[in-house]
Amino acid sequence: MSSLEAQTLRHFIESQDQVSRYILLLHYYDELTTKEISLVLDLSESYVSKRLGQLQQQAQQQILLCRSASKTKASSTASLSAIA
């Protein structure tokens, strides 16, 4: 993962509401299962599982957009360099 992708992911996490941030951090940093997260946050396991899936999908989209923007920028820079 590039530093730009890491920065994008950090911004994505920081832009989430508190519960969503906790779900992400407890799952990826503390390596808790959805059942354990549901107990810690006093939420249904179904909600935690569904929300985690949504967050994973959104994060993947952000990373793909970041990669796409990086490729477009690199391509534009290369084209300008060829002209000069």
Is residue 19 very low, low, confident or very high in pLDDT (cuts 50, 70, 90)? very high
- Tens-place pLDDT, residues 21-73: 999 999 999 999 999 999 999 999 999 999 999 999 999 999 999 888 887 76
Domain borders along the chain are: 3-72
Q: Is the pLDDT of residue 77 over 70?
A: no
Q: In terms of C-beta density within 10 A (0-12 exposed, 13-18 middle, 19 or more buried), how is residue 65 classed?
A: exposed
Predicted TM-score (pTM) of this structure? 0.79
Torsion of CA 61, 67, 71, 72, to 10 degrees: 40
| The pLDDT of residue 83 is above 90 | no
3-72, CATH topology level: Arc Repressor Mutant, subunit A (1.10.10)
